[in-house]
A and B are shown apart, each in its own frame.
Chain A
Amino acid sequence: MDTQTGPSRAEASSPGTGSPEFIKAVPVRHPGRWVAAGVLLVFAAMFAHMLVTNEAFNWPFMVENMFSEPVLLGVRTTLVLTLLAMLIGVVVGIAVAVMRLSGNPVLAGVGWLYTWFFRAVPRLVLCVLFGNLGVLYNRIDLGLPFDHYWAPLLGLESARFYSFDTRDLLTPFVAALLALALSEGAYMAEIVRAGLQSVDPGQTEAAQALGMRRSTVLRRITLPQALRVIVPPTGNEATAMLKDTSLVAYVPLTTELWFQLQAIGNRTYDPFPMLVAACLWYLAITSVFMVGQYLLERSFARGDRRAGAGLRLLRVQARN
């Protein structure tokens, strides 16, 4: 058939015939989709059947303990630890990223060293390490350095003003928080650095041409734009942090969620329902985080068509 001089083409373009009829065609059939859906439905039914009938789940026992007081306190500890560790981690991360991007070679070197150390050591090891810092110093003194060398020369006993017992200062909670937050700071530093570098250099130039100082450019121009890039991976980091709080039992900080659920499982010789409870709790908290992340991303997407499109897509997916 000659498509170039087909009569329909001439008809459509000729004036007076109006707009052509809408196409009404039989859509392509997808029998494979129906087969796949059927198979999956059978699997889902089998799974649901197992959940109800398998006695190992022991649902009444699980529900009873999932909301018991020590577990709820564990949820609270886990949440507080996650939020504080992320907060400190973000602040440290911004500071280290700015250090690494600054022109100051000393600061850049310190920033690199920090990232190198805290990314290299596993969080589990950091938790145990910070739990045992009391071995290194059993008292922490505030004063001038190296005073035991020079204070006697001045006829002084020492040049220390105040002294803490390390166990008072470095409680298990503080040790756990430091281990998680400092480790997070290293990862956040890399995320923030990538975010800052993603901002068009023309933005910095325009701001400098207006007479802004570097600190003002960072605070008002580059960092706010970098946040669009920084927020999504930070959401990832927050969910990872939520799960890594289960490591702090090794500090040892035993009031956190996972340790509490496991303890009930061990005490009652019925561990499996408590494992399911742990999954459900982490799922629930992560879901709440996702909503928070979505709202954050939306507020930072102002004035950016691309980011807006990504979020609109997310919304459509959420509705389906």
Chain B
Amino acid sequence: MVAENIPEADDRMVVADNIHKHYGRLHVLRGVDLEVRRGEVCCVIGPSGSGKSTFLRCVNHLEKISAGRLWVNGQLMGYREKNGRLYELRESEVAAQRRDIGMVFQRFNLFPHMSVLANVTEAPVQVKRMPRAEAREIAMGLLERVGLADKAGAYPEQLSGGQQQRVAIARALAMNPSLMLFDEPTSALDPELVGEVLDVMRDLAEGGMTMIVVTHEMGFAREVGDTLVFMDGGVVVERGAPRDVLDSPQHERTRAFLSKVL
């Protein structure tokens, strides 16, 4: 059941092997198996309560998994396995594992007491001990890329939701991650602001970033996604090329869900 050695040079960025998650008596994830290759854009769809956000939060160990194994970039997340026993990683080791994984939240979670520029430079300076001038330069480049260089001095509350989410993407990119997680990045936005965020994400995907995107944007999944995963009831029900899954779903549950949202 447990996958054999996951070599560093593997082209699989994320390997989830039979992931379970319990909250007390609530059994949220019931054996999720999923592989994401380097450079792949994997979109995850499914009804609310299907466990898709929980799964995403397990990938960077914001949630502890109850059973199974999860590797990112060849590293077992949250644990060290020695002689058939699992040892919990120390807090600093978990933090070090997360440096390589960027995450974008539904509610942006920008730091409200810092300017836009400080939001982006904070992690490189505090975590990577990067000199401020260098962090600033990188941050300005990223803000340019998301089209917000002119807002560097503003505070998050002065920005629209779409602008805040673009800053949040720049903040995550500042750590130069090899994997980006998006947890319903456009669900909290007014409809007319969704496009600008999706444009930035599309740009990122075209640049070859490995991405897992939990989303309700079927258009984005179809155009940008390499694979589409449909989750329901804490398991992956169906997985395939977006066109195939959306146009000719194989499972009854997928068909029922798509008929409601399309």
B window 84-140: CB within 8 A of A: 91-92, 95-96, 98-103, 105, 107, 109-114, 122-123, 126-127
B172-A210 in contact (CB<8A): yes
| Cα(A209)–Cα(B99), bound, Å | 7
Chain B residues with CB below 8 A from A302, complex form: 113, 155
**Majority SS of interface residues in chain A?**
helix
| Cα(A240)–Cα(B225), bound, Å | 61
B113-A303 in contact (CB<8A): yes
User: Given A211-B123, A304-B157, do A224 and B109 touch, yes or no (CB 8 Å)?
Assistant: no
B contact residues, total (Cβ < 8 Å) = 31
| B211 contacts the other chain (CB 8 A) | no
| A11 contacts the other chain (CB 8 A) | no
B127: contacting residue among A200, A211, A303, A304, CB under 8 A: A211
A216-B105 in contact (CB<8A): no
A202-B113 in contact (CB<8A): no
A225-B60 in contact (CB<8A): no
Chain A residues with CB below 8 A from B126, complex form: 212, 216, 220
Least CB separation from B61: chain A residue: A208
A213-B109 in contact (CB<8A): no
A213-B92 in contact (CB<8A): yes
| Cα(A121)–Cα(B183), bound, Å | 50
B window 54-100: CB within 8 A of A: 60, 62, 91-92, 95-96, 98-100
| A33 contacts the other chain (CB 8 A) | no
| A203 contacts the other chain (CB 8 A) | yes
A residues in contact (CB < 8 Å) with B:
200, 202-203, 205-214, 216, 220-221, 224-225, 302-305
B residues in contact (CB < 8 Å) with A:
60, 62, 91-92, 95-96, 98-103, 105, 107, 109-114, 122-123, 126-127, 155-157, 168, 171-172, 175
Between-chain CB contacts (< 8 Å), 7 pairs: A202-B109, A210-B127, A211-B99, A221-B111, A224-B113, A225-B111, A302-B113
